[in-house]
Amino acid sequence: MRLVDLRAGGRAPAPTVEARASSGAELLRCAGVLITDDPDAFDIGPERIAAVRDRTPDDLLEELRALSGERGDKALLLLSEAGAVVSAPGTVQQVRDALLEDPLLPWKLLAANFVHADHRLEGANPLELVQRVIAGDTEALEQLREMDAAGECPHELEVLVRTSPAEYRDRLVTAIDRFEVEVFRDLQDEAMGAIERDVLHRHRQLDDGMPAAEVVLEATNGYELPEDDRTLRRVVLLPSFWFRPWLILGRLEDTEVLSTPVADQFVALPSEAPPPTLVKLAKALGDEGRLRLLRRMSGGPITLADAMEELEVAKATAHHHLALLRQAGLVSLREEGRRTLYGLRGDPSDTAAAALSSYLKAPGWSDAAAR
């Protein structure tokens, strides 16, 4: 017999969690990384990014940049959420077919995220406008174009506003076809091998009864699912090899789409190389400002505004510091209404000691040193 709490004040039911090895999502994320302005920000490394760029046709790179608009890689990265919209596993062909079937799919993927996240536009009610555009209302599209001309449209939507849905879809599908054949095909086995190992691990955790919130926390390296969100029914994890160590949070109606970094243990590394997580940990602890943030968080969770105030820095800088702390496994984050709260994820000193000890005592190191 199963009892269900139907009272309005009862705890929201836990969402279902699934993990997918989506080659369609990874292709778009790989393309996004290649056109980034900050190759040093990725675990794959600037040398590897430069090498793949060098053998990618210049006109294809330019088209990928044009499809992403003025904000670089972000549009392609959010379009990778198509890997969660189609049936599992979300292959390149499935994503391509979904775009061909629905020219408004890029609108649905991009607009849903930026309408949800961009607080500047609340007064203009862009959610209603975007919903009307998706429903085929050309007048609503003209209103968004007027907002764009006035500088009031989210930058990531500019490329959609300035082209017709069918034209953008056709250009995107053509770019995907070319990128798959000319670039991604040679990279796919390495990326998807690591992704599939990560996905298998998440499946085993779920099958063994690990709570969904704990699986998500580990897979995202610190993102806490909201406990009181009654609209959240489903979480899809889309691990990425190319986009490590970053996390992308996306929301499509009742589904949270999380582009997660493949865990270190599933990436092939030289036997004596320190794991990327340990390197991030050392980097995170090697900065005075980040140490101050950790100390501030020892008194309880903080907001981005609190971090800005503590360090007397701009929003982007404070966000960068907090992101590095999360990637190092020291900080967790959770959304609470319009705010994001950052708090300690256990004891930082214990985390650092365990990571360093694990690496120093790894099998094979003493033998290699003796030789």
CATH number at 300 reads 1.10.10.10
Domain residues for the domain of 276 are 269-370
Mean pLDDT, the chain, rounded, equals 86
C-alpha 285/C-alpha 91 separation (Å) is: 39
Residue 30 lies in a domain: yes
C-alpha 55/C-alpha 6 separation (Å) is: 58
pLDDT score of 311 more than 70: yes
pLDDT interval class at 72 (50, 70, 90): low
Answer whether 212's CB lies under 8 Å from 202's CB.
Answer: no
Residue 168 lies in a domain: yes
Q: Which helix (H) or strand (E) holds 291?
A: helix 288-297
For residue 310, the tally of other CB atoms under 10 A from its CB is 17
Report the predicted TM-score, pTM, of the whole model to 2 decimal places. Answer: 0.85
* 74 or 232, higher pLDDT: 232
Residues 28 and 165 in one domain: yes
Share of the chain above pLDDT 70, in %: 87
Q: Which residue has the tokens 């076809």?
A: 177
Residue 315 lies in a domain: yes
Strand spans (E) along 72-119:
none
C-alpha 133/C-alpha 110 separation (Å) is: 13
Residues 189 and 62 in one domain: yes
User: Following CA atoms 188, 189, 193, 199 in sequence, which dihedral angle do they give, to the nearest 10 degrees?
Assistant: 30
Residues 233 and 282 in one domain: no
Q: How far apart, in Å, do the first and last CA atoms of the chain sit?
A: 64
Residue 3 lies in a domain: no
Residues 286 and 358 in one domain: yes
Residue 28 lies in a domain: yes
pLDDT of residue 24: 97
Nearest-Å Rg of the Cα atoms of the chain is: 21
Residues 162 and 59 in one domain: yes
pLDDT score of 135 more than 90: no
Residues 182 and 91 in one domain: yes
- Which whole-number Å values give the CA distances from 270 to 267, 276, 280, 366, in the listed order? 10, 12, 17, 16
C-alpha 279/C-alpha 324 separation (Å) is: 11
Residues 80 and 161 in one domain: yes
| Strand 255-259 with 248-252, pairing | antiparallel
Secondary structure of residue 154 in the 3-state scheme: coil
Report how many domains make up the chain: 2
Tens-place pLDDT, residues 178-201: 999 999 999 999 999 999 999 999
Residues in the chain, total: 371
pLDDT of residue 123: 45
pLDDT interval class at 330 (50, 70, 90): very high
Residues 226 and 363 in one domain: no
Residue 126 lies in a domain: no
CA-nearest of 71, 74, 87, 90 to 25 is: 90
Residue 141 lies in a domain: no
Residue 130 lies in a domain: no
